[in-house]
């Protein structure tokens, strides 16, 4: 990559090591917290880190496993919008970071990952703890470097930060050979903004003609739907999305990554769509006549059967990454640019035209969605002798509505997505990669970034056991994370799929045998442990957990065979959902028709039978 660095006048050089240049450059780019684990090849950098911590302004969080460091840096970045930073040594230290790098890449999270490497003369000799981490991570980073000379260090760091957070964000790797870290040279700092990358110029302004085309479609649409993804969170486009939705009275659905981009208490919100989205969001996307995709990438867990996803709709697709526009669905109006800036321009043109949207234009459509909302609500079951997992989520939301929530991956993640109503950047979950073990270390990063806020990790008994060692990190630093285990004794989502699609052959999905006593495990690390087995104790236990000054691990025993519904089966359209609730008698006033295939009753407004998926 060809790079130019702004010339600096009257700069006095100083004789420093490559390690000093790295740490100083990180601080110049606003880094205050680093998550990492030392080792032989990265010790020169840690030696300079030690001195920097003594001077103040920079702190290192020692994790118990490098994967925890990458997830913590990821959570820090998601909660703040800043670049997260993590360290790992060469060989196994670097490879332990790979899952976290891939997680950040899939979800477009800005991170700078710094790894130690064997000395330059030893590279390629299969030296002790040598791994080609540059080559290993090429498919899962936005860019990567091997620093061959300490003179390049300041420029490389400045470039890495610029690349990580510009355009579509993502992780950048910097691999530093050990001898580069100790070699002295004449250091000239490179400040943020001093680098210029001619070959890297993300498009931020939308094409004016395409924006005008989008406005014409918006003015004509009778059944529009805003489909909002994680790009809206990255761009900070929350206010613009709400203004556009209210201007034309457009219902809004979000992806798992897009949660928080639109207020889910708002009457225009229809919640999350996709495999475990709300029935009314999935019916809406199946029936809309205009789909406005904002910072979303038409992921398979959202679209279901792609050729039936919004099959009747014209599509406007706004995204900063040109590679995503048209990748899975060819839009009628492609607009490449920063989501917030494109929407701002669109709204300015709307206001200049002085022709307000007409709410009556979408009234029938919104009424129809409201009927779906009443017919197929999200249900919180109750059982006499056991706790339903949904009850735990709802009670957490009631007592801590403004908390930052992280999740692991599985049924608990989907229940949390269904029932929590989060503000911007307060929903933090591994979406694209679906990384078990993400939740607690990500919550660590969130809490370090926002020490005065409440941070809650919702985990499962199987997911939690992927990275339980980070209880030691919480204990050492007093990081006030509240972790709630939704404990059903299974790999819950695996069990649900085995029950539904594999003839109830539960191969290697039961976790009961060998499960630790989570309370004793927490106490062994010096963390407060709690267990809840009865519904009557749940409310008070959550209140006690939130009131405790310090990290807490709460083990909540829930119904073991509860399934997460609605569910779109693989290969089916979004309108073909399993597990929809039966309509209550007092709302069966809509005209009904019978499915020609299975005989199920359906509202006349439906196009597909939710029982068998047959087109009506």
With both helix axes pointing from N to C terminus, report the angle between 535-547 and 389-399 in degrees, rounded to the nearest 10: 40
Q: Helical H runs in 354-502?
A: 363-375, 389-399, 411-419, 439-449, 461-464, 471-477, 492-501
In contact, 451 and 478? CB cutoff 8 Å: no
| Residues contacting 526, CB < 8 A, separation 6+ | 475
Per-residue CA distances from 596 to 576, 588, 611 (Å)? 15, 20, 12
In contact, 602 and 610? CB cutoff 8 Å: yes
In contact, 473 and 544? CB cutoff 8 Å: no
| Residues contacting 109, CB < 8 A, separation 6+ | 74, 77, 78, 84, 103, 169, 170, 171
Q: Find the catalytic residue in 153, 275, 414, 493.
A: 493
Distance between CA atoms of residues 464 and 407, nearest Å: 10
Q: Find the catalytic residue in 48, 66, 130, 308.
A: 66
Q: List beta partners, residue 594.
A: 601
- Let me know if 178 is a catalytic residue: yes
Half-sphere exposure of 250 (CA within 13 A, CB side): 30
Distance between CA atoms of residues 151 and 157, nearest Å: 11
**Of 309, 318, 154, whose CA–CA distance to 228 is shortest?**
318
Q: Find the catalytic residue in 51, 128, 501, 601.
A: 128
- Let me know if 493 is a catalytic residue: yes
Q: What stretch of H or E contains 76?
A: helix 66-80
Q: Find the catalytic residue in 48, 111, 161, 178.
A: 178
Q: Find the catalytic residue in 27, 129, 151, 469.
A: 129
Distance between CA atoms of residues 157 and 191, nearest Å: 10
In the sheet where 290-294 sits, what is the strand order?
269-272, 252-254, 224-228, 290-294, 314-319, 333-336
- Let me know if 128 is a catalytic residue: yes
Q: What stretch of H or E contains 286?
A: helix 279-287
φ and ψ at residue 113, rounded to 5 degrees: -110, 120
Q: β-strand 111-117 against 171-177: which pairing, if any? A: parallel
**Of 428, 399, 432, 433, whose CA–CA distance to 416 is shortest?**
428
- Let me know if 576 is a catalytic residue: no
Q: β-strand 481-487 against 552-557: which pairing, if any? A: parallel
Hey, how many other C-beta atoms are within 10 angstroms of the C-beta on 521? Answer: 17
Q: β-strand 427-428 against 59-62: which pairing, if any? A: unpaired
Rg (CA), the chain: 26
Buried/exposed 127-151: b ≥16 CB within 10 Å, e otherwise = bebbbebbebbeebbbbbbbbeebb
How is residue 277 written in tokens? 């989205």
State the catalytic residues. 66, 128-129, 178, 493
């Amino acid at each position: 990559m060809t790079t130019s660095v702004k010339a600096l006048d009257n700069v006095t050089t100083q004789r420093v090591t490559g390690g000093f240049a790295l740490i100083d450059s990180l601080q110049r780019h606003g880094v205050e917290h680093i998550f990492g684990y030392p080792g032989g090849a990265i010790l020169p950098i840690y030696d300079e880190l030690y001195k920097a911590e003594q001077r103040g302004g920079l702190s290192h969080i020692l994790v118990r496993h490098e994967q925890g460091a990458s997830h913590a840096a990821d959570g820090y970045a998601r909660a703040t919008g800043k670049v997260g930073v993590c360290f790992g040594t060469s060989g196994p230290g670097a490879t332990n970071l790979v899952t976290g790098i891939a997680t950040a890449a899939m979800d477009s999270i800005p991170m700078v990952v710094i790894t130690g490497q064997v000395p330059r003369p030893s590279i390629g000799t299969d030296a002790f703890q040598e791994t080609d981490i540059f080559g290993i991570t090429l498919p899962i980073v936005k860019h990567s470097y091997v620093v061959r000379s300490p003179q390049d260090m300041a420029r490389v760091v400045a470039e890495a930060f610029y690349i990580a957070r510009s355009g579509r964000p993502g992780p950048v790797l910097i691999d530093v050979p050990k001898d580069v870290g100790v070699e002295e040279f004449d250091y000239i700092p490179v400040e943020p903004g001093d680098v210029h990358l001619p070959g890297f110029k993300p498009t931020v302004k939308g094409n004016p003609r395409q924006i005008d085309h989008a406005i014409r479609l918006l003015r004509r649409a009778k059944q529009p739907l805003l489909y909002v993804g994680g790009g809206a969170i990255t761009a900070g486009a929350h206010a613009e999305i709400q203004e556009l939705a209210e201007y034309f009275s457009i219902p809004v659905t979000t992806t798992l990554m897009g949660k928080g981009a639109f207020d889910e208490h708002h009457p225009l919100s229809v919640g999350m769509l996709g495999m475990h989205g709300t029935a009314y969001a999935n019916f809406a996307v199946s029936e809309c006549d205009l789909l406005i995709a904002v910072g979303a990438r038409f992921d398979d867990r959202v679209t279901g059967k792609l050729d039936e996803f919004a099959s009747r709709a014209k599509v406007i697709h706004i995204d900063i990454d040109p590679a995503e526009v048209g990748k899975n669905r060819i839009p009628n109006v492609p607009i490449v640019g920063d989501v917030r800036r494109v929407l701002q321009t669109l709204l300015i043109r709307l206001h200049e035209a002085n022709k307000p949207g007409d709410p009556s234009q979408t009234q029938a459509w919104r009424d129809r969605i409201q009927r779906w909302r009443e017919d197929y609500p999200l249900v919180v079951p109750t059982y006499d002798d056991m706790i339903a997992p949904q009850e735990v989520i709802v009670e957490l939301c009631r007592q801590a509505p403004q908390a930052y929530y992280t999740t692991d991956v599985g049924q608990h993640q989907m229940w949390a997505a269904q029932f929590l109503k989060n503000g911007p950047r307060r929903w933090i979950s591994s979406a694209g990669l679906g990384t078990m073990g993400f939740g607690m270390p990500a919550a660590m990063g969130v809490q370090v970034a926002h020490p005065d806020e409440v941070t809650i990790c919702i985990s499962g008994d199987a997911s939690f056991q992927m990275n339980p060692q980070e209880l030691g990190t919480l204990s050492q630093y007093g990081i006030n994370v509240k972790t709630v285990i939704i404990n059903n004794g299974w790999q819950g989502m695996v069990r649900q799929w085995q029950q539904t699609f594999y003839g109830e052959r539960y191969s290697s999905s039961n976790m009961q045998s060998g499960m630790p006593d989570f309370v004793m495990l927490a106490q062994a690390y010096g963390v407060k442990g709690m267990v809840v087995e009865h519904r009557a104790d749940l409310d008070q236990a959550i209140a006690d957990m939130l009131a405790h000054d310090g990290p807490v691990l709460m083990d909540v025993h829930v119904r073991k065979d509860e399934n997460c519904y609605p569910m779109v089966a693989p290969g089916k359209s979004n309108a073909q959902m399993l597990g929809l609730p039966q309509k209550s008698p007092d709302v069966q006033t809509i005209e009904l028709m019978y499915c020609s295939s299975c005989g199920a009753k359906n509202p006349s407004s439906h196009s597909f039978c939710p029982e068998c998926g047959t087109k009506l």
